[in-house]
Structure 1
Amino acid sequence: MRLLALDTSNEAMSVAVLDNDKLLAQTTINRKRTHSEQLLPAIDDLVAASGLQPEDLDKIIVADGPGSYTGIRIAVTTGKTLAYTLNIALAGVSSLAVLAANITDTKAMIVPIMNARRNNVFTGVYQWNKGRLINVVTDRHVPLKLLLTELATLHQPVIFVGSDAAMFRAQIIETLGGLAQFAPSWLNLPQALRLGQLGKDLPPVSVYDFVPRYLRLTEAEHNWLEAHPGRGHDVYVEKV
């Protein structure tokens, strides 16, 4: 199965082409440029470098969030468009799982961290079990203090991963002390290879039903709900 994996959910963009678990080509760009300018040229280059045509692809796997609202939408929209045009399968994987998958050969809990502002984070808790990455605590948007308090009660080693973990390092160590470990810098960026491996065996999702995993309301939704009290979130979605 030939796979195209796309992650634009944060500042770094990663794209890969795989043949099942085998990496054919990958690029990860960690620069402050708009992913909308970089993504399609990267896809063209990597598919060609793999000796393939777009029609040779069997499945597209997208990191569907959480993360940057705009960034998530770029990969989701591109993935849906390509899947529809090429009439191939589409699947989504948590952007947090993609980061967690960088940490291997450990029994420790793996906690990917993304800054959600105001001392809140997007996070989940993952562990490896018999070669499979398991999401043991569901991905969520949560105050950092609450997350650390919960982790402290478990009295287990925790590996934090993600570029944003560094900004919370002092708070993490203050609460968890020696139980806290931090991934080396080269493992803090998403790798589309991992995304492809995680999504390879997932069941396909209809392009009509595939939506981003924001984990919190967008600013537009929040403003709409404030202006329409009592109307509910579903009414907003239907209207949009």
Structure 2
Amino acid sequence: MTFFGLDTAGRTVSAALLQDGQLVCESFLNTGLTHSETLMGLVDGAFRSAGLGPADVDVWGVCSGPGSFTGLRIGLAAVKGMAFPTGALCAPVSTLEALAQGCPGGEGTVLTALDARRGQVYWAAFDLAPGHARLAPDAAAPVTSLAAFIKNCKKPLFFVGDGAKLCYNEYGQIPGVQAPPPALGHVRGLGVCLAAARMHAAGQCVLPAALVPSYHRLSQAERERAEREKSKGGPL
């Protein structure tokens, strides 16, 4: 089977092709340019390098959240457009799981974290043993609320993602907590492919039309509106 994996959830963009369990191509950009400037060129280059085309893809994996609201919509729209002509199945992959799947296996725990601003992170946790079994669901929470999980989880513990530094600054003094590896700070297309393969095996894939983002919290505009209404005693 051929899996395509795409991440546009943050400032970087990555794409990969996994065929019969082998990584055949992976592309990554962290240039500061917008996804509208780089995405389709990177995708086209990946297919050309692998000698494949969209019609060869059996399952399309794409990060569906959490992450940048705009970035998520761009990636989902791109995958929908490429998957619709063949009706291939799609895997709406957790960005946090894709981060974990991009980490090598081993002993201990990986806590994936994305900076959600205002002292919060999107986070989840996985066992580093083969298979990367999930230990905690995707959630948005204050960094300070992770204390109980971090103190009681299997060590060593590694933080990865663009929120890793926030977590390490808060919990780095706990025995067994390791400094975040800079090279694992971004989602890899391979991680998206591996997560998509797990979802396909579990029967969790969907048709292109059913792809939707998983934001995990309200947008800033929605939060500010809710705060205004609360201060006025309720909605107008």
Three-state SS of the structure 2 residue aligned to 1:132 is coil
Aligned residues: 228
Q: How does 1:111-150 map to 2 (within 5 A)?
A: 111-129=111-129, 131-150=130-149
Q: C-alpha distance in 2, partners of 1:76/1:213?
A: 11
- Of 111-120 and 154-163, more deviation after overlay is shown by 154-163
Letter of the 1:13 counterpart: V
Partner of 2:164: 165
- Of 192-201 and 5-14, more deviation after overlay is shown by 192-201
Q: How does 1:40-59 map to 2 (within 5 A)?
A: 40-59=40-59
Partner of 1:31: 31
- Of 80-89 and 91-100, more deviation after overlay is shown by 80-89
Report Cα offsets for 1:159-215 as digits up to 9, x if no partner.
1111331244322224x2x32113421122211112102212423213232211111
Partner of 2:75: 75
Structure 1 residue 39: Cα displacement: 1.0
Letter of the 1:17 counterpart: L
Structure 1 residues 230 and 86 mapped into 2: Cα distance closer, same or farther (>3 Å)? farther
Partner of 1:191: 188
TM-score by length of 1: 0.85
Structure 1 residue 99: Cα displacement: 1.2
Structure 1 residue 22: Cα displacement: 1.0
Is this contact kept in 2: 1:163–1:188, CA < 8 A? yes
Letter of the 2:70 counterpart: T
Is this contact kept in 1: 2:88–2:207, CA < 8 A? no
Structure 2: where are the runs of 5+ without partners?
Answer: none
Report Cα offsets for 1:97-118 as digits up to 9, x if no partner.
1111233232211101111011
Is this contact kept in 2: 1:103–1:183, CA < 8 A? no
Structure 1 residues 56 and 99 mapped into 2: Cα distance closer, same or farther (>3 Å)? same
Is this contact kept in 1: 2:102–2:190, CA < 8 A? no
Is this contact kept in 1: 2:124–2:139, CA < 8 A? yes
Partner of 1:100: 100
Letter of the 2:126 counterpart: Y
Structure 1 residue 20: Cα displacement: 2.8
Letter of the 1:146 counterpart: S
Calculate the aligned-residue CA RMSD, in Å.
Answer: 2.3
Letter of the 1:126 counterpart: F
TM-score by length of 2: 0.87
Q: C-alpha distance in 1, partners of 2:150/2:166?
A: 18
Report Cα offsets for 1:50-105 as digits up to 9, x if no partner.
11122222221001111111111111111122111232111111111111123323
Is this contact kept in 1: 2:4–2:17, CA < 8 A? yes
Q: C-alpha distance in 1, partners of 2:182/2:16?
A: 20
Structure 1 residue 124: Cα displacement: 0.6
Structure 1: where are the runs of 5+ without partners?
Answer: 232-240
Structure 1 residue 218: Cα displacement: 1.8
Structure 1 residue 152: Cα displacement: 2.1
